[in-house]
C-alpha cells in the first residue's frame, strides 16, 4: 500500500519539475538531451517524495489513508471544555492563525506558514454536534501534494491537548 502511494505522489511532482526544466532550458538557452532532462525530473520527484516519506514514517500509528496526504480528518468526543480550548487555538498550536468563521457549531481558522518569501495557508475547521467534534485540516493550495507531515503534526497536537 505504501509503495503504491509513494509512486503516485512521485508522479504528482513530475509535471512541476517538467515545467521548471523547460523554463530553465528556455531562459538560459541550453539544449540538454531530453533523456537527461527526463532523468533529472524523475530523480527530483523521487527525492522530493522520499523526503516526505521520512517525515511521515516518524509516526508509527498513522493510518494508510493519511500517509503522504495534507488533508486529515478526525473526531473526538464533544465536551464544552474542549470546545472552549479550541476557541483559544493560539494556546494549542504555535503557528500564526486567523479566525475566519465562527458560529455556535463551527469554527474555521486559517493557519499561515512562511515559505521562502511567500506564505502557505492551511484551513483548520472544527464542527460539533451533541456528541462529537470533527476536526478537518487541509492545505489550501495544492492540497494533493504532501506537506512533510506538518498538518498531521498539528492535528495530533490538537488531539493531545484536548485529551488532557
Q: What is the pLDDT of residues 39-59, one digit of tens each?
A: 989 999 999 888 888 887 887
Averaged pLDDT for residues 156-161: 90
Tally of CA atoms within 13 A in the half-sphere of 24 that contains its CB: 10
Residues spanned by the domain of 23? 2-56
Q: In this structure, what CATH number is given to the domain that contains residue 131?
A: 3.30.310.10
Q: Among residues 107, 134, 110, 130, which one has the least CA distance to residue 121?
A: 110
pTM confidence score:
0.78
Could you report the per-residue pLDDT of 131-147, keeping only the tens digit for each?
A: 899 999 988 777 767 77
Task: Give the pLDDT of residue 41.
Answer: 92
**How confident is the prediction for the chain on average, in pLDDT?**
85
Same domain for 74 and 149?
Answer: yes
Whether residue 150 sits in one domain with residue 75: yes
Q: Evaluate if residue 117 carries a pLDDT over 60.
A: no
Cβ-in-10-Å burial (0-12, 13-18, 19+) of 16 comes to middle
The domain total for the chain is 2
Is residue 135 a part of any domain in this protein? yes
Q: Is residue 61 part of a domain?
A: no
Amino acid at each position: 500500500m505504501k509503495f503504491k502511494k509513494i509512486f503516485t505522489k512521485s508522479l504528482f511532482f513530475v509535471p512541476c519539475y517538467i515545467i521548471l526544466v523547460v523554463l530553465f532550458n528556455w531562459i538560459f538557452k541550453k539544449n540538454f538531451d531530453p533523456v537527461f532532462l527526463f532523468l533529472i525530473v524523475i530523480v527530483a520527484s523521487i527525492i522530493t517524495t522520499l523526503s516526505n516519506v521520512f517525515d511521515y514514517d516518524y509516526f508509527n500509528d498513522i493510518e494508510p489513508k493519511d500517509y503522504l496526504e495534507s488533508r486529515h480528518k478526525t473526531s473526538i468526543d464533544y465536551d464544552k471544555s474542549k470546545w472552549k480550548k479550541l476557541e483559544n487555538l493560539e494556546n494549542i498550536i504555535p503557528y500564526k492563525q486567523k479566525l475566519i468563521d465562527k458560529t455556535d457549531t463551527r469554527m474555521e481558522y486559517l493557519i499561515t506558514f512562511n515559505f521562502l518569501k511567500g506564505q502557505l495557508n492551511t484551513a483548520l475547521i472544527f464542527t460539533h454536534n451533541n456528541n462529537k467534534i470533527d476536526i478537518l485540516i487541509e492545505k489550501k493550495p495544492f492540497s494533493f501534494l504532501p506537506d512533510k507531515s506538518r498538518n498531521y503534526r498539528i492535528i495530533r497536537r490538537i488531539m493531545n491537548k484536548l485529551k488532557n
